[in-house]
């Protein structure tokens, strides 16, 4: 547990990282460095995207596994890693 917290702190301390959210597969946020409202929004919107992405990968090749997903926007980059029980979101501003 402490390791996890430590890692999350380290992630948060990286350059450009705006927020880190850890949520379980049902959409409940476990840890978050953003405000509640934003957290809930992110989680609720990212979850179906994840499901879709995983399904797509499985259809293409069942032996393949989902590692991470990056969504690059104009203002920042959203990195999502996921497993069967949880997923993790990090929002990072790109290095100038």
Partner 1 sequence: MRRASTYGKDVAGSNKPTMKEGERRQSLLPSSSSGINRSKEQLRRRRRSSGFLFQQKYSSPQTSTKGIRVFDSQGSDVTPLPLVAVVDDPDPKTREKSSLEEVLFKKGSSIFKSSTPTDVVSSRFGSSFTSKPTESGALSRSSITDDSFSLPSTDAAYEFPRKPVAEGFDIILSETDTISLLDLPPTLVSEDAEDADAVKQRNRDYAEFCSSKMGSDNFFERSSQTLVGEHKCKYTQTDTNKSVNKGTIATTWDIYDSFSMSTENRETRESERVDYLTRTRNKQDVSEVTMSRETGSGVSSAAETDADLFMLKTESNLEKILSSEAFMKSVSIMERVIVLNIFQPKLAAFRGLPVLKDPDSEVRPGSEERITEEKGHYLTPTLEPLWTFVSPLTRGHNITCMTWNKKNPDILAVGYVGGSSGNPQPGLICCWSLKNLVWSERVFSCHSSVTCLEFSSSNPSHLAIGMYDGSVAIYNVQVGDDTACIANSRDCAKRHTQPVWQVTWTKQQLQLSGEEREEVLVSVSGDGRITKWLILHNDFNCVDLMILKRSSGRKQSIGGGQSKTENVLLPLTTVLCIDFHPDDTGIYVIGTWDGSMHKCSLSNSDHFLDTYCKHPSPVTHIEWSPIYSDVFLSTSSDGTIQLWKVDTLNPKMSFTSVQSIVDSVKWSPNCGTVFAAIYRHRVEVWDLCQSIMRPTLVHHAEPGVTLSSLLFAKGSDSILVGDSRGEVTVYKLKNFRVGKPKKVCDLYEVMASVGGYVD
Give the binding site for partner 1 (CB under 8 A): 1, 3-4, 7-8, 10-11, 14-17, 22, 24-28, 30-31, 47, 51, 54-55, 58-59, 62-63, 67-68, 70, 74-75, 77, 79, 81-86, 88, 90, 92, 94-96
Find the shortest distance in angstroms from Cβ 1 to partner 1.
6
Tokens for 77, please give them.
């980059």
Give 41 or 70: the residue with its C-beta nearer to partner 1. 70
Find tokens 């949880």 and name the residue.
86
The angle formed by the CA atoms of residues 85, 13 and 25, to the nearest 5 degrees, is 10
**In angstroms, how far is CA 1 from the centroid of its own chain?**
19
């Amino acid at each position: 547990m402490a390791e996890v917290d430590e890692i999350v702190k380290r992630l948060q301390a990286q350059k450009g990282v705006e927020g880190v959210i850890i949520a379980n597969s049902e959409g409940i946020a476990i840890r978050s460095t953003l405000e509640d409202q934003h957290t809930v929004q992110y989680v609720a919107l990212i979850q179906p995207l994840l499901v879709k992405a995983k399904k797509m990968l499985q259809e293409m090749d069942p032996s393949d596994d989902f590692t991470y997903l990056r969504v690059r926007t104009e203002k920042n980059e959203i990195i999502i890693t996921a497993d069967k029980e949880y997923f993790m979101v990090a929002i990072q501003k790109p290095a100038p």
